Amino acid sequence: GAVVSQHPSRVICKSGTSVKIECRSLDFQATTMFWYRQFPKQSLMLMATSNEGSKATYEQGVEKDKFLINHASLTLSTLTVTSAHPEDSSFYICSARDLSVLSTDTQYFGPGTRLTVL
Amino acid sequence: QKEVEQNSGPLSVPEGAIASLNCTYSDRGSQSFFWYRQYSGKSPELIMSIYSNGDKEDGRFTAQLNKASQYVSLLIRDSQPSDSATYLCAVRLSSASKIIFGSGTRLSIRP
Q: What is the pLDDT of residue A102?
A: 56
With pLDDT > 70 as the criterion, what percentage of chain B qualifies? 96
Q: Is A69 on the interface with B (CB under 8 A)?
A: no
CA B102, CA B105: separation in Å to the nearest integer? 9
Interface test with B, best of A39, A42, A44 (most B CBs within 10 A): A44
Question: Cβ B42–A111 below 8 Å, yes or no?
Answer: yes
| Distance to chain A for B43, nearest Cα, Å | 5
Question: Cβ A49–B100 below 8 Å, yes or no?
Answer: no
- The pLDDT confidence band at residue B94, using thresholds 50, 70 and 90, is confident
- The pLDDT confidence band at residue B9, using thresholds 50, 70 and 90, is confident
pLDDT in tens, A53-99: 888 999 999 999 999 999 888 899 999 999 999 999 999 999 998 76
Instruction: Locate the DSSP E strands across chain A.
Output: 4-7, 10-13, 19-25, 32-38, 45-51, 57-58, 67-73, 76-81, 90-97, 107-109, 113-117
Q: Is B53 on the interface with A (CB under 8 A)?
A: no
pLDDT in tens, A24-43: 999 888 878 999 999 988 88
| Distance to chain B for A84, nearest Cα, Å | 21
Q: What is the pLDDT of residue A62?
A: 95
In this prediction, residues B67-79 reach a mean pLDDT of 97
CA A49, CA B103: separation in Å to the nearest integer? 20
In this prediction, residues B7-27 reach a mean pLDDT of 95
